[in-house]
């Protein structure tokens, strides 16, 4: 493919790279606009936080499924008209969601956003990779791209907090939608109306496989998000979700093994490095899920206001930047992959052990800065090498399938990570609350004295004796609940920390992690 046939001759290479990066960042908006402030977004839609988590799983899961058939559409339409149409549809979808207050309609819009998020990505990444002529340029380019995705949450959360202080929530969605029109303008003035590849007619597109895998993903995500709330297999909905997910997933696998031109090539799983990369991605995202526990503690235990929590996340973002720079340096120096992974996961372990001692009723910002930055550094060091390791683990003809495996590891790791953290927190909170409550309701003189003093303070404010006693008990049990949460968080972080140490040892002894991801022999797209 000739670059001049796609971009207008007057556009310099550096401007093309910037434009492609800007166009790729639409996924940052689609994933971050609701996740940036879960509590407010949930209240705006009159839904539970679990519902919002499920909606985000729907978007990401739809993206994962759409990758299977994306190339058929990008090969059929000319790049310029194809991308312009997609970004206009994305803008319409985002702005439309500002007027939706029905959860079922909202979920349908999230499915549409997942499709529209996947369709432009592959063609833009292909164009982007072709702009880089050296190994270091490729490393730097994708470090910037994945760095922007890692920084999406703190960046958009701070914008969201500012909007909520000055405007209605809907204006956040208006601006998000209008930003897509910038992409339309950039493509309109810099792209030629030529094709990137030979036109392939839109027939024999495997829509049946697409529907099967999408159904399996969404019902599987539904089970993991709502299982704890609906008491697992005591709920007929949960049983039905598991059955549908397993049947449709099994039919998808069966179909791929039988058809002449499968959407997904299961031969990729014969490569040990790909299997290893998938497992590491899965573990990595489960460990990342503990960061939400820190943010929850900031809100519910330390009573920090949203603007402060939003600002604090920039500290973690700084760690991401540092980690990405370190990872880029390691990759340029061709450091063995196993050592990069060992450093990254070791830093994650240190973060978990350090934060174990910070789950106390009150902390200063200075107390959490170092471990909070360490978490960001660890994530930055691991992310790009994990992507490159997974995608380059197979021959070039299987690159699309290996990319889908990488996205699957991220999707199921984050979804199951949410489920694990949610269920473990509920279980441990109940255990510690019941144990600590015995010291309040029993004949503990210290507890009775505390309740008595608290009741007297309420009576001094004009409450009756019964009201004062009830409020005193409520305040004491609120303190017990907070202490139970802190103890639960400490246990979770300790277990995850030891698990990461064991993982580092396994990586050290693994015989399949000695090579460095080969960026030079393969022109790759990264998913």
We report the CATH number of the domain holding residue 36 as: 1.20.1250.20
Q: Is the pLDDT of residue 32 over 60?
A: no
State the sign of the Cα–Cα–Cα–Cα dihedral 329, 332, 336, 338: positive
With tokens 């833009």, the residue in question is: 124
pLDDT digits (tens, 9 = 90+) for 321-355: 889 888 888 888 878 888 888 899 999 999 999 98
Residue 55 lies in a domain: yes
Higher-pLDDT residue of 208, 146: 208
Domain co-membership, 167 together with 85: yes
Enter the tokens of residue 83: 């991308």
Distance, CA of 476 to CA of 450 (rounded, Å):
8
pLDDT digits (tens, 9 = 90+) for 105-157: 888 888 888 888 888 877 777 777 777 766 666 677 667 777 777 776 666 66
pLDDT digits (tens, 9 = 90+) for 445-459: 666 666 666 666 666
The model's pTM is: 0.78
Distance, CA of 352 to CA of 360 (rounded, Å):
15
With tokens 């450091």, the residue in question is: 335
Helix orientation angle between 465-509 and 291-300, rounded to the nearest 10 degrees: 160
For residue 78, with 0-12 CB atoms within 10 Å meaning exposed, 13-18 middle and 19 or more buried, which class applies?
middle
Instruction: Read off the pLDDT band of 207 (50, 70, 90).
Output: confident
Alpha helix (H) ranges present in 97-168? Answer: 103-129, 135-150, 152-166
Domain co-membership, 181 together with 238: no
- In this structure, are residues 61 and 215 in contact, taking their beta carbons and an 8 Å threshold? no
pLDDT digits (tens, 9 = 90+) for 229-262: 777 877 888 889 889 889 988 888 888 888 777 7
Residue 365 lies in a domain: yes
Closest to 114 measured CA to CA, from 69, 58, 70, 73: 58
Residues ≥6 apart with Cβ < 8 Å to 252:
209, 212, 213, 216
Domain co-membership, 460 together with 312: yes
Domain co-membership, 55 together with 170: yes
Residue 273 lies in a domain: no
Radius of gyration of the chain (CA): 25
Q: Is the pLDDT of residue 390 over 80?
A: no
- In this structure, are residues 464 and 508 in contact, taking their beta carbons and an 8 Å threshold? no
Domain co-membership, 166 together with 228: no
- Mean pLDDT along residues 477-482: 73
Helix orientation angle between 272-288 and 365-391, rounded to the nearest 10 degrees: 160
Of 180, 205, 230, which closes a domain?
Answer: 205
- In this structure, are residues 6 and 110 in contact, taking their beta carbons and an 8 Å threshold? no
Beta-carbon-side half-sphere exposure of residue 139 (alpha carbons within 13 Å):
23
| CATH number of the domain within which 463 lies | 1.20.1250
User: By residue range, what is the domain housing residue 247?
Assistant: 207-262
Domain co-membership, 195 together with 247: no
Task: Tell me the average pLDDT of the chain.
Answer: 77
Domain co-membership, 94 together with 226: no
- In this structure, are residues 56 and 31 in contact, taking their beta carbons and an 8 Å threshold? yes
Q: Phi/psi at 301 (nearest 5 deg)?
A: -100, -50
Beta-carbon-side half-sphere exposure of residue 442 (alpha carbons within 13 Å):
8
| DSSP code for 3 | G
Number of structural domains in the chain: 3
Domain co-membership, 188 together with 211: no
Q: Is the pLDDT of residue 222 over 70?
A: yes
Of 205, 234, 254, which closes a domain?
Answer: 205
Distance of CA 107 to the CA centre of its chain: 18
Higher-pLDDT residue of 170, 180: 180
Distance, CA of 383 to CA of 31 (rounded, Å):
17
| DSSP code for 235 | S
Of 205, 220, 243, which closes a domain?
Answer: 205
Q: How many H-runs (helices) and E-runs (strands) does the chain carry?
A: 20, 0
Domain co-membership, 255 together with 393: no
Residue 470 lies in a domain: yes
- In this structure, are residues 76 and 200 in contact, taking their beta carbons and an 8 Å threshold? yes
Distance, CA of 439 to CA of 315 (rounded, Å):
39
Higher-pLDDT residue of 135, 103: 103
Distance of CA 73 to the CA centre of its chain: 26
Residue 278 lies in a domain: no
Domain co-membership, 329 together with 452: yes
Domain co-membership, 53 together with 103: yes
Distance, CA of 349 to CA of 494 (rounded, Å):
9
pLDDT for residue 424: 82
Residue 408 lies in a domain: yes
Domain co-membership, 337 together with 463: yes
For residue 138, with 0-12 CB atoms within 10 Å meaning exposed, 13-18 middle and 19 or more buried, which class applies?
buried
- Mean pLDDT along residues 358-385: 85
Q: Is the pLDDT of residue 169 over 80?
A: no
Q: Is the pLDDT of residue 421 over 70?
A: yes
Residue 42's CB is within 10 A of a number of other CB atoms, namely 18
């Amino acid at each position: 493919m000739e670059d001049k046939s796609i971009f207008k001759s007057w556009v310099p290479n550096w401007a093309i790279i910037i434009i492609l990066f800007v166009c790729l960042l639409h996924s940052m908006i689609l994933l971050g606009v609701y996740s940036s402030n879960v509590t407010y977004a949930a209240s705006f839609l009159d839904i539970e936080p679990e519902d919002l988590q499920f909606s985000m799983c729907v978007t990401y899961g739809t993206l994962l499924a759409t990758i299977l058939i994306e190339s058929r559409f990008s090969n059929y339409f000319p790049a310029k008209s194809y991308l312009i149409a997609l970004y206009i549809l994305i803008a319409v979808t985002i702005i439309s969601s500002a007027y939706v207050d029905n959860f079922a309609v909202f979920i349908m819009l999230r499915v549409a956003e997942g499709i529209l998020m996947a369709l432009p990505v592959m063609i833009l990444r292909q164009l982007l990779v072709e702009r880089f002529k050296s190994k270091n340029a490729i490393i730097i380019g994708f470090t910037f791209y994945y760095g922007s995705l890692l920084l999406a949450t703190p960046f958009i959360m701070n914008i969201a907090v500012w909007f909520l202080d000055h405007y209605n929530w809907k204006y956040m969605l208006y601006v998000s939608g209008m930003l897509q029109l910038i992409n339309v303008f950039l493509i309109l003035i810099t792209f030629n109306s030529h094709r990137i590849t030979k036109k392939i007619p839109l027939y024999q597109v495997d829509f049946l496989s697409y529907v099967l895998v999408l159904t399996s993903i969404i019902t599987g995500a539904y089970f993991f998000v709502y299982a704890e709330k609906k008491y697992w297999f005591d709920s007929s909905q949960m049983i039905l979700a598991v059955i549908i997910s397993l049947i449709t997933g099994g039919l998808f696998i069966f179909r791929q093994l039988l058809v002449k031109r499968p959407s997904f090539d299961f031969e990729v799983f014969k490569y040990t490095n790909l299997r290893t990369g998938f497992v590491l991605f899965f573990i990595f995202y489960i460990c990342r899920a503990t960061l939400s526990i820190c943010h929850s503690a900031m809100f519910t235990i330390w009573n920090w206001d949203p603007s402060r929590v939003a600002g604090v996340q920039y500290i973690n973002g700084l760690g991401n930047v540092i980690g990405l720079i370190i990872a880029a340096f390691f990759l340029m120096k061709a450091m063995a992959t196993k050592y990069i992974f060992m450093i990254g996961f070791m830093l994650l372990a240190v973060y978990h052990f350090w934060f174990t001692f910070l789950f106390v009723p009150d902390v200063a910002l200075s107390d959490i800065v170092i471990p909070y930055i360490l978490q960001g550094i660890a994530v930055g060091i691991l992310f790009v090498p994990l992507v490159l390791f997974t995608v380059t683990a197979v021959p070039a003809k299987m690159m699309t399938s290996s990319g889908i495996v990488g996205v699957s590891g991220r999707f199921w790791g984050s979804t199951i990570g949410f489920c694990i953290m949610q269920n473990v927190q509920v279980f441990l909170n109940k255990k510690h609350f019941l144990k600590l409550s015995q010291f309040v309701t029993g004949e503990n003189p210290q507890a009775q004295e505390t309740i008595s003093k608290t009741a007297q303070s309420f009576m001094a404010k004009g409450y009756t004796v019964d009201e004062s006693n009830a409020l005193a008990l409520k305040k004491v049990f609120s303190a017990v609940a907070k202490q139970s949460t802190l103890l639960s968080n400490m246990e979770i972080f300790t277990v995850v920390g030891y698990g990461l140490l064991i993982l580092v040892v396994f990586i050290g002894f693994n015989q399949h992690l000695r090579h460095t991801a080969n960026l030079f022999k393969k022109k790759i797209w990264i998913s």
